[in-house]
Amino acid sequence: MRKRKPSSSAAKRRPQFGLIAKGALVLLAAACSIGYAGFVLKNLAYFKVRDIYTSETKGLGPLHSSVVSSGPGAIDLSYLVGKNIFSLDLQKESLYISELYPNYKKVRLVRILPNRLFIDFIRRNPVACVRLYRDFCVDESLFLFDLPQQVKGAALPVIAGLSAKIAGPRAGRRYAIRELSLAVEIAREVKANRGLDNFTLKRIDAGSLDTASFLLHREYIWQGAAVPDSPAAYVEVKIGQSAIRDKVRLLNGVLTQMKKDSAAIQYIDLRFKEPVIKFRDAK
């Protein structure tokens, strides 16, 4: 009997199968090579973090195993030294450092091959000081944080009246309450108004939205000498909770018009259609 010849379709399938098998072997070899290369990169001492440069060192050179700054609020990054630069999850480390140090609103990590890291710290900008069971700073995003060393003693306005509104305050947390938002808005608008540059915003009372007010201070001269603690150096402004920018502009106009008599003003009430001015009792 004659042997049957394989069909043409079967003959075609054999070389195709061979090509597929060869391709799979090539891909497997490539995957193994990449995996091995990754293993080598993650285990070579050459790629372990040795130096850490930060935007906070102010030209003092790299950190090896110490801290960015000394004293309260010091930033310790020594835990990163010795870690493989490729195994670090930069986004995860950024979030971790931000949570540890809430004085910074953003932390960005950058690899510098083969064994260096650059960490960029973006500070929170304090708008005012919030008086609670202790003092906190607040930024425009309504995050509370500790008073930075570089701004201690600065003339930050004090926000009062929020002890009952913010329970158990913690640095690094955002408190999106209307009273705090209003106080921050007042601080921002007073600072932005160039016509009030001769005044210093001392205090904002925001415990009640309808009766929100703030206290301005300016230099008071009596018989040729400055009297900073004189009642005449202060003017109270009752502002309420609406149209803050417009009311601050109106305040600027009132104080400009009454420049000669401004020392006699006890308070200005801007909560009505027309400003109400109360003068100090003559003695």
User: Residue 129 in 3-state DSSP?
Assistant: strand
Q: With a cut of 90, say whether residue 219 has pLDDT above it.
A: no
**H or E element in which residue 105 lies:** strand 104-112
45-95 pLDDT per residue, tens: 889 998 888 887 554 444 443 344 434 456 788 889 999 999 999 999 999
Q: For 27-31, 170-174, 237-241, which range has the lowest pLDDT when averaged over its residues?
A: 27-31
Kindly state the DSSP code that residue 217 receives in the 8-state scheme: E
Asked if 173 and 160 count as a contact pair (C-beta separation under 8 A), the reply is no
User: Residue 143 in 3-state DSSP?
Assistant: strand
- What is the CA 275 to chain-centroid distance, rounded? 36
Residue 12 to residue 21: CA distance in whole angstroms:
15
Q: Write down the pTM of the prediction.
A: 0.75
For residue 81 the two structure tokens come to: 């030294």
Asked if 213 and 196 count as a contact pair (C-beta separation under 8 A), the reply is no
* Alpha helices (H) along the chain: 8-43, 90-100, 178-192, 244-257
Q: With a cut of 70, say whether residue 277 has pLDDT above it.
A: yes
**H or E element in which residue 264 lies:** none
Asked if 282 and 232 count as a contact pair (C-beta separation under 8 A), the reply is no
